Structure 1
Amino acid sequence: MRNNVLYIFFLFFVTSLCAQAQDTLTVEKNEKIIVVKDTVASRFEYDPLAPARAAFYSAVIPGLGQVYNKRYWKIPIIYAGMAAGIYFYKQNDDDYNRFRNAYKRRLAGFTDDEFYGDGTTPLISNDRLINAQRSSQKNKDLSLIVTIAFYLLNVVDANVDAHLRQYEVSEDLSLQPNFDYNQFNAQTQYGMSLTYRFN
């Protein structure tokens, strides 16, 4: 029995020494950080002033921002829209002046304007001449708004197009339909597959 007590005492003493030895141990942490240089090279340098430059060019000369962005097909659309607005402005301005001059001559007592007819009875009354003047003025203003809108659209388009040109659009991203035959229920399953390839 005495041996058992000594054995238990010895076992208790050894475990307490081991426990103290574990408490005094220090653990060093060595963290190694691996820095890998980015190997993805950009195809072109990012120019943050390119959108402002394109917008400035289009503001100075309409269509020049599209030339800067290499979107030549947009130039005829811009000039056609602006030319149509200017053409209709000029035509409505001429009509307005014709109606106004005829009305002023009638107020002065003349009966020889182009809308009076044979000189005895007017083809177009004074009220109709006033309405024609208002209509021509409204159409003239609308033509001016269309011309200014095409000019502003030209500037905005050059700016937005220059912004979007700086995003890299790669062929590595594709979206295509996916047809899969399910062998368990013998039916075709349809879906979409999004594929991205890392180079």
Structure 2
Amino acid sequence: MLNKLPITGIFLFLSCFSLLAQDKDKNKELGELPKEVVIDSIIKIKEPINPLSPAKAAFYSAVLPGLGQAYNKKYWKIPIVYVALGAGTYFYITNNNEYKRYRDAYKSRLAGFTNDEFYLDSEGNQLETPRVTDDGLRRAQKLFRRNKEVSLLVTVGLYALNIIDANVDAHLMQYNVDENLTLAPHYKINEIDATGNLGLTLNFKF
């Protein structure tokens, strides 16, 4: 009996020590809370959407072509706008002036005069027969009138396109492109029958 008591005491002491060691191991596995918790996060603040921005851009371009592009900070488009509008205006003015030349000469001949510019040579001498006939004057009027009308339509179209471009640019600048939401086409080959499958993939990250 006396020999069993020390052995029993030693066994109990080792058992307690083992339990304490296991408790420490469990604490290590669970991990202790640090004194200070630092959360590293990046908050991206997006600019608020201005619903009136596209309307402003369109209005500015309507008042002065190119001003809407400047409002959208697309300065490289301003020279393109003025070159396009300038070309349309140039062709309209040129065709209009030519139309007036032939119209005035035709009116002069209808009044019985023979002193229009087509009755004169390069040195200003009177000719017996005109360089351009009456029928030629009518055809020239028709040609240049059609050309000036087309030039006017093209110029007006370019002016409207300048307004539309400013409006669409302002819309696209505020378009929300979020990396957490993507829609992309995909193409996959079916390994069973070797056919291709085309579709769209929608990815959404929480």
TM over 0.5: yes
Residue 55 (str. 1) matches residue 58 (str. 2)? yes
Q: Which residue number corresponds to residue 118 of structure 2?
A: 115
RMSD of aligned C-alpha atoms? 2.9
Do the aligned partners of residues 99 and 72 (structure 1) sit closer, same or farther apart at CA in structure 2, a change above 3 Å counting? Answer: same
State the SS of the aligned residue for 2:201.
strand
- Spell out, residue by residue over 1:54-99, the C-alpha distance to the aligned partner (whole angstroms, 9 max, x if none): 1111112101111212333433332222111110111112201211
Q: Paired residues, what number?
A: 158
Cα distance in 2 for residues equivalent to 1:193 and 1:108:
74
Identity %: 49
The structural deviation recorded for 1:130 is 2.4
Report what 1:5 is aligned to: none
Give 2:106's aligned amino acid.
Y
- 1:135, 1:163 → 2: CA distance? 42
Separation (CA, whole Å) in 2 of partners of 1:109 and 1:189: 80
Superposition pairs of residues 3-42 of structure 1, within 5 angstroms: none
Change (3 A) 1:75 1:125: same
Counterpart in the other structure of 2:82 = 79
* Deviations 1:136-182, CA, capped at 9 Å, x for gaps: 22322222222122112211221232223222123452525344564
* Matched residue, 2:100: 97
Corresponding residue number in structure 2 for 1:68: 71
In the alignment, what sits opposite 1:27?
none
State the Cα distance separating 1:112 from its structure 2 match: 4.1
The corresponding residue for 1:10 is none
CA–CA distance in 2 between the matches of 1:93 and 1:186? Answer: 68
Q: Which amino acid aligns with 1:196?
A: N
Q: Give, in whole Å, the separation in 2 of the partners of 1:100 and 1:180.
A: 70
Do the aligned partners of residues 189 and 128 (structure 1) sit closer, same or farther apart at CA in structure 2, a change above 3 Å counting?
closer
Equivalence for 1:175: 184
